[in-house]
Amino acid sequence: MDNFILDVQNVTYIRNNIKHINNITFSLKEGESLVIFGPENAGMPKLFDLIIQASPEYEGDIIYKGKSTKTLDYFEQLMHKRDIGYVHGDYGLISNMSVEQNISLPLEYHSTLSAARIKEHVESMIWILNLEHCKKLRPIDLTAAEILKTAFARAMVMDPDLLYIEHAFKINCPLNIKKVIDFLIDRSKRYDKSLIVITYYPQDYVNIADSFIMFFNGSIVFKGGRDDFINSDNPYLIQFKNNSLEGPMEIL
């Protein structure tokens, strides 16, 4: 029997009288890596409010680790947000903190580790991601790749069961962030760790993802595994892959 870490059931999300998400259903198994993609304003960014923020303002249900996020009280919502690692394209590093301070922050707030164990754990992440040379620097002094790797290390330092990455790699040189990609590839092989990537470039994750979902106008228009993504004749997928204005999607 499959164990699902996330189960999105017939969810519709309306905000400011705009229907951002329209009756979507999908599940994420423990150990599965999922890529969600589509054109701009397709509805993917609103998943953050539902999955991470556990916003109750939607129709349908979202089950995380067997429990509806609608039923979470204030303390449970805090624990829920702590349980999910999150990396966004804005990164959100604390500007007056160094690299090592930014990475250690989740452990200082949400773990019972001693200061010595926190330092040891943070040093390990810094070494893995080649941040030793800049660990004392603040975000303003970092390159784009160093900012990404710091944000990634902060998201991973608690070893979350679900890692959620949203448009985080779009301004980075692939060579400079290869350590991050290699980390993701290794992590995707673990049976107990799940991944969701929100992106405009799904082809970059063919070697990582188990399944792909495409959004358009708040609805799911394609869903399938790696082979389906590569070989499907779905007209929405073909139009997106070909970067074409011709097809079922009207792009404004």
Q: What are phi and psi of 23, to 5 degrees?
A: 55, 60
pLDDT of residue 57: 81
Chain segment 115-172, per-residue pLDDT in tens: 999 999 999 999 999 999 999 999 999 999 999 999 999 999 999 999 999 998 888 8
**Domain ranges for the chain:** 4-241
Contact between 5 and 194 (Cβ < 8 Å): yes
Least confident residue range of 28-37, 74-83, 190-199, 222-231 = 74-83
Chain segment 47-101, per-residue pLDDT in tens: 988 898 877 788 999 999 999 998 888 888 888 888 899 998 888 899 999 999 9
pLDDT of residue 156: 93
Chain segment 189-219, per-residue pLDDT in tens: 899 999 999 999 999 999 999 999 999 999 9
Looking at the predicted structure, is the pLDDT value of residue 34 above 80?
yes
Compute CA distances 6 → 19, 46, 97, 149, whole Å: 22, 16, 33, 26
Q: What are phi and psi of 215, to 5 degrees?
A: -105, 150
- Does the global pTM surpass 0.75? yes
Looking at the predicted structure, is the pLDDT value of residue 186 above 60?
yes
Tell me the two tokens of residue 158: 């608690």
pLDDT of residue 170: 82
Contact between 235 and 251 (Cβ < 8 Å): no
Q: How far apart are CA 164 and CA 51, in angstroms?
A: 9
pLDDT of residue 74: 87
Which whole number is the average pLDDT over 211-237? 97
Expressed in percent and rounded to 5, the helix, strand and coil fractions of the chain are 40, 25, 35
Q: How far apart are CA 99 and CA 118, in angstroms?
A: 14
pLDDT of residue 124: 94
Dihedral sign (CA 118, 177, 228, 48): positive
pLDDT of residue 173: 87
Angle at CA 11, nearest 5°, toward 193 and 220?
75
4-241: which CATH number, 3.40.30.10, 3.40.50.300, 3.40.50.150, 3.40.640.10?
3.40.50.300
Tell me the two tokens of residue 90: 């804005």
User: Which strand (E) or helix (H) includes residue 52?
Assistant: none
Which whole number is the average pLDDT over 163-183? 89
Q: How far apart are CA 52 and CA 23, in angstroms?
A: 19
Q: How far apart are CA 212 and CA 92, in angstroms?
A: 27
DSSP state of 3: P
pLDDT of residue 1: 47
pLDDT of residue 2: 67
pLDDT of residue 55: 76
21: three-class secondary structure by DSSP: strand
Looking at the predicted structure, is the pLDDT value of residue 32 above 60?
yes
pLDDT of residue 77: 87
User: Measuring CA to CA, which residue among 27, 26, 19, 28 is closest to residue 59?
Assistant: 19
Going along 16-136, which residue ranges are E strands?
A: 18-29, 33-37, 59-64, 67-68, 84-88
Instruction: Give the pairing of strands 4-15 and 18-29.
Output: antiparallel
